[in-house]
Amino acid sequence: MLHQLQFLFESLDFTAMGNALLRVLAIFLCLTVHEASHGLAAYVLGDPTAKAQHRLSLNPLRHIDWFGLLMMFTVGFGWAKAVPVNPRYFRKPKQGMAVTALAGPVSNLLLAAAAVGISRLIYQYAPYTGLWNALFEFFLLTLAPLSIGLGLFNLIPIPPLDGSKVVAVFLPDDAYAMLMRYERYGFLVLLALSYFGVMSGMMSDAIIGVFSLLYNLFY
């Protein structure tokens, strides 16, 4: 029995397990910053709803939708718990919703920039050890690309993604109302696009482009 347990222990790929855990950590961080930024933007614009429901927190458990997280790992996109926003608190509801929606993707791009910047500091000043190398790879090769991907994906103008609310500010009121009416079907459209790989090439090129821009900025 002891021999079998030893064989099982030796057969485990701890490197792969560690990389998987770091990827989950990065996803939690990206989603938490994204959703908290929505709530913070709404609060600054006068809507206290998210704050009252403790959605300005950086505690990932307040933001993670476990089924949405599972979908992210299985079909390539997922979601967190939607931050409650009441546009009636905004002086200009459409513009307020657009700014609130845009805050999420912008926060992800800023997080990616910070991650690349931290990796540069580690590269330049930290001693070359296993721990520092793992942190360097986490910030540069895991957190930054994931955060860029989440930010760019949410800028796609298909409801219920943030990009649809940004585009909506330029639409007439009747077109805006129609867009919101069909918001519930947007998930099916996204699922179909993901299944047929329609957006994968464009998204990959966009992520690489933004990552290269940030890399050249810091390196």
Q: Which residues are catalytic?
A: 35
User: Residue 128 carries which side chain, given as an amino acid letter?
Assistant: Y
> Rounded distance, CA 115 to CA 110, Å?
9
